[in-house]
């Protein structure tokens, strides 16, 4: 697996919006987490991700939601909200956050190109962020019992051919075993 950048300032300074995901992979382990075997990805060094990985979903949601509009609407914030809402069972809010995270990726790539990032970096960042967002949204679909949409998101994430620490194929295999 390639080395992921885990210093947000270094990554942003370089104009590289690749996963600075000092990645905390979390799994559903408690009854209130639906007993789900799926894994999701959190930005642990951004947008209160440490609270999410620590299981303090309510505090993470409150802190992210109370941030200024601009900071609250970043890809990282929406990704962490997607996970926190999913794990806390607030599935309608999770759906909105997961979909917003997916929608943030194209404009983010366009901003990167305007900053004169190389097309290769932009393409790689776009694929990795999209795969991450789709894999998380796929888990939400699986938790809601929507196997068809979960499968579609896991497959699409897998087709992007990235090296995410959380493999969409692993979640897809878990989905197939459970159906």
Is residue 107 one of the residues assigned to a domain? Answer: yes
d(CA 85, CA 82): 5
C-alpha to C-alpha distances, 114 to 67, 110, 111, nearest whole angstrom? 26, 6, 5
- Residue that is written with structure tokens 């197939």 in the block: 176
| Residue 143 domain boundaries | 8-178
Q: How does pLDDT run across 71-82, given as a tens digit for each residue?
A: 668 899 999 999
Residue 168 domain-assigned (yes or no)? yes
pLDDT above 80: residue 95: yes
Lowest-confidence segment of 31-35, 92-96, 106-110, 139-143 by average pLDDT: 31-35
- The answer to the question of residue 94 being in a domain is yes
Q: Is residue 92 in some structural domain?
A: yes
Q: What is the pLDDT of residues 47-80, one digit of tens each?
A: 788 999 999 999 999 999 987 656 668 899 999 9
Which domain CATH number covers 166? Answer: 1.25.40.10
């Amino acid at each position: 697996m390639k080395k992921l950048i885990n210093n947000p300032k270094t990554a942003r300074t370089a104009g590289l919006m690749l996963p600075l995901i000092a990645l905390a992979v979390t799994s559903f382990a408690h009854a209130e987490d639906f007993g789900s075997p799926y894994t999701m990805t959190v930005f642990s060094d951004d947008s209160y991700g440490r609270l999410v990985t620590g299981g303090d979903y309510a505090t993470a949601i409150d802190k992210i939601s109370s941030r200024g509009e601009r900071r609250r609407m970043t890809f990282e914030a929406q990704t962490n909200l997607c996970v926190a809402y999913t794990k806390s069972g607030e599935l309608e809010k999770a759906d909105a956050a997961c979909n917003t995270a997916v929608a943030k990726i194209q404009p983010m790539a366009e901003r990167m190109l305007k900053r004169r990032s190389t097309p290769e970096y932009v393409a790689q960042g776009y694929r990795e962020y999209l795969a991450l967002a789709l894999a998380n949204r796929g888990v939400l679909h699986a938790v809601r019992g929507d196997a068809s949409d979960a499968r579609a998101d896991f497959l699409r994430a897998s087709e992007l051919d990235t090296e995410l620490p959380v493999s969409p194929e692993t979640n897809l295999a878990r989905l197939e075993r459970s159906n």
